[in-house]
């Protein structure tokens, strides 16, 4: 009697299709919601009313298009086009909401970018190579969002630098897509570079990844890919390249900043160990509590153990040029900052900063460790699959697996389900270990990122000085760039330059321990020295100063400024601030119309790159939808 073959007709296939569709719909949702949940968990305290004010992070109710915002003041253009973007958006939405929204979106984009990048790179062609799957991609998201680099940069107030950090895995993905779908790849590259280019550091981070990935062999013309990356960088970096060329009188930076900003060894770790664990920021006050003792060693070991589990998987895929490039970039991103912290490295860096214009951008060596994140995320995703296979390597379980393979079809299905469950379990354990290794990153990095509220006197002063924003510039007391108000949760950059429509002169000097790192604000320094020396108000007026704002409750030097202020006009005073008006005519010492025009041209190039990238992506998506509709009609 002939045995009946199992039924595999249309009804069986039709029954499987809904399940496959359900799984296909579940993946994008999970891959998007998981990093969003992590981002909200990190930034939770900031989601209430108020403003982010912590070290370099300064948000205000409204920002303005001042000379400093355009990058044409006498200080270096370090925050362009960031300040112009915030000024434009804060004319419609409260500035505090803008900064908090960008921060949350950057963290979310870092997680989704890591998982998308892993999905594009794995599987690679080769025998026995399998995809990282949902479990591996979720783990990559966890590592991208939850690591010491993110925690330390948040505590340092580098919210906009995190947009450049978040763009890195997207640039890897764009480089892969450019090989087979040039329009999509070019659009994604331009848009990611524009978002990374909110700060000069972000733009440099982005172009390094874009050029390295584009320069690898394979696919669409390599020279064209590199040209796209270089041209995109030139456009998004134009706001600070152009303004530095036409407005910056100081071409070099203070070499004292090299040692002050060098990477720092954490407890029980050498400098290279701290950097390998994605930590080692120069500012000890910007280190999360979980990494101030033995936690630094344990957290680093946990992170590196997960990455090490995936090294074999990365090595087996080394024939893939982009995977090889990402891996090498991760190694160099750790090794080179570590070398720069040695005595020879510091000597070379001091020479470069003192000699080469713009080399001061590289003084903070630890921030370049961000380039390791794509490689770490890829290794972590592959490490989850390696961890999931560990139980199968035990002698007793290996025999059971072999028996299942020789058994029925049902046993094979159960084995596949067990494999999926093992991957899910490994991903859950890996993510839990990453989070447990840095618990203080949760809820505002140990509640350090809490919104604050400006005292009412700040609005009163703004009403006065903004009534005539072109009447003259403002200087502030006490001297120095940082403040420690009783109503903030830590030291913060002076908010005045972003709070008022009038130009506020700042020297940019920074005190790091016992070392003072000089800024580039020559005009601000001259005005400050005259004020601290008790000069006549006319001396300030000659330098273009109309207003002196005294901020109470914060430490700092005031010198003999009382002698100058006694001959000025007190126009407002309360327990928080006092405002003095310098009498007499005040000449305009700000930027020229030509300098502002060049600055606007640079910002227009940045915007053109962003719009072009978005348009190319939108056009590609429309074409994909049209093809999908045509395919359904044929069916």
> Which of 121, 212, 115, 132 is CA-nearest to residue 166?
115
Angle of helix 373-389 relative to helix 161-180, nearest 10 degrees?
A: 70
Q: Are 93 and 33 in contact (CB under 8 A)?
A: no
> How far is residue 500's CA from residue 355's CA, in Å, rounded to a whole number?
35
Residue 1's pLDDT is 43
Structure tokens belonging to residue 532: 């601290």
**CB count, 10 Å around CB of 405?**
10
Residue 123's pLDDT is 74
> How far is residue 277's CA from residue 369's CA, in Å, rounded to a whole number?
10
The answer to whether the Cα torsion of 251, 253, 254, 256 is positive or negative is negative
**CB count, 10 Å around CB of 73?**
28
- Name the pairing type of β-strands 569-573 and 515-517: unpaired
For residue 36, CA distances in Å to 273, 474, 586 come to 30, 41, 51
Q: Are 87 and 63 in contact (CB under 8 A)?
A: yes
> How far is residue 322's CA from residue 488's CA, in Å, rounded to a whole number?
45
Q: How many residues are present in the chain? A: 635
Residue 388's pLDDT is 84
Residues of the chain with pLDDT under 70: 1-25, 124-130, 247-252, 391-420, 513-514, 632-635
**CB count, 10 Å around CB of 93?**
11
Q: Report the C-alpha dihedral over residues 579, 584, 585, 588, rounded to 10 degrees.
A: -30
Residue 414's pLDDT is 38
Containing 122, the helix (H) or strand (E) segment is none
β partners of residue 495: none
Q: Is 581 helix (H, G, I), strand (E, B) or coil?
A: strand
- Round the CA-based radius of gyration of the chain to a whole number and report it: 28
The residues, ordered by sequence, that sit 6+ positions from 561 with a Cβ below 8 Å of its Cβ are 477, 531, 532, 534, 548
Residue 128's pLDDT is 54
> How far is residue 371's CA from residue 329's CA, in Å, rounded to a whole number?
7
* Cis ω before 377 (30° cut-off from 0): no
> How far is residue 162's CA from residue 169's CA, in Å, rounded to a whole number?
12
Q: Are 129 and 320 in contact (CB under 8 A)?
A: no
> Which of 143, 139, 71, 68 is CA-nearest to residue 107?
143
- Phi/psi for 218 (5° steps) reads 110, 145
Category of 472 on φ-ψ map: left (φ > 0), alpha (ψ -120 to 50) or beta: left
Q: Are 220 and 182 in contact (CB under 8 A)?
A: yes
Domain boundaries, the chain: 27-58+94-391+429-447, 456-581
pTM of the predicted structure, to 2 decimals: 0.92
Structure tokens belonging to residue 443: 């809820």
**CB count, 10 Å around CB of 412?**
13
Residue 23's pLDDT is 58
> Which of 448, 630, 481, 457 is CA-nearest to residue 556?
481
> How far is residue 60's CA from residue 39's CA, in Å, rounded to a whole number?
22
Q: Is 514 helix (H, G, I), strand (E, B) or coil?
A: coil
Residue 441's pLDDT is 96
**Per-residue burial over 283-295, b = 16 or more CB atoms within 10 Å of its CB, e = otherwise:** beebbbebbeeeb
Q: Are 501 and 465 in contact (CB under 8 A)?
A: yes
The residues, ordered by sequence, that sit 6+ positions from 476 with a Cβ below 8 Å of its Cβ are 494, 496, 504, 506, 548, 549, 550, 551
State the first-to-last Cα distance of the chain, in angstroms, to the nearest integer: 41
Containing 371, the helix (H) or strand (E) segment is none
**CB count, 10 Å around CB of 625?**
10
**Residues 296, 165, 353: CA angle, nearest 5 degrees:** 85
**Per-residue burial over 490-510, b = 16 or more CB atoms within 10 Å of its CB, e = otherwise:** bbbbbbbbbbbbbbbbbbbbb
The residues, ordered by sequence, that sit 6+ positions from 44 with a Cβ below 8 Å of its Cβ are 442, 443, 444
Q: Are 554 and 526 in contact (CB under 8 A)?
A: no
Edge to edge, the sheet with strand 577-581 lists: 473-477, 545-551, 577-581, 569-573
> Which of 413, 245, 224, 383 is CA-nearest to residue 312?
383
Dump pLDDT digits (tens) for 424-438.
Answer: 888 999 999 999 999
């Amino acid at each position: 009697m002939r045995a009946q073959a199992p039924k595999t007709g249309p009804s069986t296939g039709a029954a499987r299709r809904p399940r496959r569709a359900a799984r296909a719909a579940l993946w994008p949702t999970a891959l998007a919601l998981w990093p969003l949940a992590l981002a909200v968990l990190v930034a939770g305290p900031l989601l209430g009313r108020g403003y982010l004010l912590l070290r370099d992070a300064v948000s205000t109710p409204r920002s303005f298009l001042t000379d400093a915002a355009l990058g044409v003041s006498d200080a270096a253009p370090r925050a362009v086009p960031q300040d112009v973007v915030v000024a434009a958006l804060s004319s419609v939405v409260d500035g505090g909401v803008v900064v908090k929204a960008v921060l949350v979106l950057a963290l979310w984009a870092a997680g989704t970018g890591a998982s998308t990048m892993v999905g594009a790179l794995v599987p690679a062609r080769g025998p026995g190579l399998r995809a990282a799957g949902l479990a591996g991609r979720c783990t990559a998201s966890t590592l991208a969002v939850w690591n010491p680099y993110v925690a330390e940069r948040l505590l340092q107030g580098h919210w906009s630098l995190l947009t450049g950090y978040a763009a890195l895995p997207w640039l890897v993905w764009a480089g892969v897509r450019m090989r087979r779908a040039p329009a999509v790849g070019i659009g994604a590259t331009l848009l990611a570079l524009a978002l990374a280019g909110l700060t000069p550091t972000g733009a440099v981070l982005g172009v390094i990844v874009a050029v390295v990935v584009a320069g690898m062999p394979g696919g669409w013309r390599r020279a064209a890919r590199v040209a796209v990356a270089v041209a995109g960088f030139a456009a998004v970096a134009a706001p600070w390249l152009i303004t530095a060329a036409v407005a910056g009188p100081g071409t070099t930076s203070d070499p004292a900043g090299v040692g002050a900003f060098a990477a720092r060894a954490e407890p029980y770790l050498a400098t290279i160990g701290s950097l390998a664990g994605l930590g080692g920021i120069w500012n000890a006050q910007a280190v999360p509590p979980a990494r101030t003792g033995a936690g630094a060693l344990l957290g680093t070991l946990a992170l590196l153990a997960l990455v090490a589990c995936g090294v074999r998987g990365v090595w087996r895929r080394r024939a893939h040029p982009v995977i090889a490039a990402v891996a090498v970039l991760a190694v160099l991103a750790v090794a080179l900052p570590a070398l720069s912290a040695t005595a020879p490295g510091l000597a070379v860096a001091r020479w470069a900063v003192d000699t080469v214009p713009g080399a001061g951008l590289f003084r903070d060596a630890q921030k370049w460790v961000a380039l390791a994140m794509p490689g770490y995320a890829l290794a972590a995703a592959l490490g989850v699959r390696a961890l999931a296979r560990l139980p199968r390597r035990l002698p007793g379980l290996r025999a059971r697996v072999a028996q299942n393979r020789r058994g029925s079809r049902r046993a094979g299905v159960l084995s596949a389900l067990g494999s999926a469950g093992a991957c899910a379990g490994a991903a859950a354990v890996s993510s839990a270990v990453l989070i447990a290794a840095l618990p203080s990153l949760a809820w505002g990095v140990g509640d350090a990122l809490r919104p604050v509220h400006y005292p009412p006197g700040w609005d009163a002063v703004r009403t006065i000085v903004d009534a005539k924003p072109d009447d003259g510039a403002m200087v502030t007391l006490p001297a120095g760039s940082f403040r420690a108000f009783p109503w903030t949760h830590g030291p913060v950059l002076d908010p005045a330059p972003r709070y008022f429509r009038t130009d506020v002169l700042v020297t940019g000097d920074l005190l790091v321990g016992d070392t003072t790192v000089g800024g580039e604000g020559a005009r601000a320094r001259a005005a400050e020295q005259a004020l601290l020396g008790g000069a006549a108000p006319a001396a300030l007026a000659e330098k273009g100063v109309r207003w002196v704002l005294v901020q109470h409750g914060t430490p700092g030097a005031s010198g003999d400024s009382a002698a100058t202020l006694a001959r000025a006009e007190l126009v407002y005073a309360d327990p928080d601030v006092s405002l003095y008006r310098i009498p007499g005519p005040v000449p305009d010492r700000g930027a020229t119309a030509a300098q502002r025009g060049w600055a606007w041209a640079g910002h227009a190039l940045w915007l053109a790159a962003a719009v072009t990238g978005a348009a190319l992506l939108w056009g590609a998506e429309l074409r994909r939808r049209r093809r999908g509709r045509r395919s359904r009609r044929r069916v």
